[in-house]
Amino acid sequence: AAPPAPSPRDRGVRAPGRAAITAPHLRTDRWWLPPLVTALGLAAFVGYSTWRAFANADYYAAPYVSPFYSPCLAHNCVPMKGGADWALFGPWWGLSPALLVLIFPLGFRATCYYYRKAYYRGFYAAPPACAVAEPHAKYTGETRFPLILQNLHRYFFYIALLVAGILTYDTALGFRDTHGAWGHMGLGTLVLLANIALIWAYTLSCHSCRHIVGGRLRHFSRHPVRYRLWSWVGVLNRRHMLLAWSSLISVGIADLYVYLVASGAFDDPRFF
Ligand code: FES
């Protein structure tokens, strides 16, 4: 008679042939701390950004526009002097204009190789940490719907380049005064500058970017320019996790700054 099919409990680390260890794992360090901190950090950002995205208020304080609301794609945006204003969605759009914009950076980050690792570990315990078995009996990886959609990341990268370009333009607009005259600067200008520097560093440190720049080549020696670019992207790529977090925090701070100024809770100090 055929041997009985292994039960789901006998798969993975408990499959026949694997070391028969009865302990759930052999790690003695605080392996649970990084996934816990990651889950709390991501949940805090999701909570804050959801509140701000639906608020539909206090996102423009001349000359600053919140990165959550740029570019303006809806008819119902507040008038913004010189801002990227492409009202593709007419008066029938009654929801917050941020909802039309945030899906792109959200898609870029949600499919990012680093964030995938972070939220698979933090929220799904799949697996919770290295050498700690996951609780799920079945594992199909990213080979099926819906996780196969993670492959869209490379396309989100191109959109992220466009978004970074628009935020660069917004940052340049920050060198004006409240009436639109150029050659001025306030604390908000520095906040936007720091944010756009981190957004660019994160975007260019993307693994897809590294592949686009230096992948599918047989001989680097015949492509010195791409080799040079690939080396630069590699320097950023090694810090991808750090840049993912620092740009996430900076974009939240940039939005919070505009909110505080626009709502009248804080006056933007002007340097000149
Ligand atoms: Fe993280 Fe592309 S891999 S942004």
Q: Note the pLDDT tens digit of each residue in 203-213.
A: 999 999 999 99
Q: What angle do CA 144, 208, 49 make, to 5 degrees?
A: 80
Q: For ligand 1, is residue 192 a contact (CB within 6 Å)?
A: no
Question: Is pLDDT at 169 greater than 90 in this prediction?
Answer: yes
Q: For ligand 1, is residue 207 a contact (CB within 6 Å)?
A: yes
Question: Is pLDDT at 17 greater than 90 in this prediction?
Answer: no
pLDDT of residue 5: 66
Provide mean pLDDT across the span 68-84.
91
Rounded CA separation 212/217 (Å) = 10
Q: For ligand 1, is residue 206 a contact (CB within 6 Å)?
A: yes
pLDDT of residue 44: 98
Report which of residues 34 and 81 the model is more confident about.
34
Q: For ligand 1, is residue 118 a contact (CB within 6 Å)?
A: no
Ligand 1 pocket: which of 114, 155, 247 to mutate (most atoms <8 Å of CB)? 114
Provide mean pLDDT across the span 262-267.
95
Question: Is pLDDT at 8 greater than 80 in this prediction?
Answer: no
Provide mean pLDDT across the span 155-170.
98
ipTM of the complex: 0.99
pLDDT of residue 1: 65
Least confident of 17-26, 149-158, 262-271: 17-26
Q: For ligand 1, is residue 208 a contact (CB within 6 Å)?
A: yes
pLDDT of residue 16: 80
Q: State the distance from the centre of ligand 1 to the C-alpha of 206, rounded, in angstroms.
A: 4
Residue identifier of the C-alpha nearest atom 1 of ligand 1: 112
Q: State the distance from the centre of ligand 1 to the C-alpha of 104, rounded, in angstroms.
A: 13
Give the pLDDT band (50/70/90) at residue 186: very high
Atom number, ligand 1, closest to the C-alpha of residue 240:
1
Atom number, ligand 1, closest to the C-alpha of residue 156:
2
Q: State the distance from the centre of ligand 1 to the C-alpha of 256, rounded, in angstroms.
A: 25
Residue identifier of the C-alpha nearest atom 2 of ligand 1: 206
Ligand 1 pocket: which of 199, 205, 241 to mutate (most atoms <8 Å of CB)? 205
Question: Is pLDDT at 198 greater than 70 in this prediction?
Answer: yes
Provide mean pLDDT across the span 189-213.
98
Atom number, ligand 1, closest to the C-alpha of residue 153:
2
Report which of residues 80 and 16 the model is more confident about.
80
Q: For ligand 1, is residue 112 a contact (CB within 6 Å)?
A: yes
Provide mean pLDDT across the span 148-161.
97
Atom number, ligand 1, closest to the C-alpha of residue 157:
2
Q: What is the pTM of this model?
A: 0.92
How does strand 72-74 pair with strand 85-89? parallel
Atom number, ligand 1, closest to the C-alpha of residue 113:
3
Ligand 1 pocket: which of 104, 106, 113 to mutate (most atoms <8 Å of CB)? 113
**CA neighbours within 13 Å on the CB side: how many for 167?**
29
Give the pLDDT band (50/70/90) at residue 125: very high
Provide mean pLDDT across the span 250-262.
98
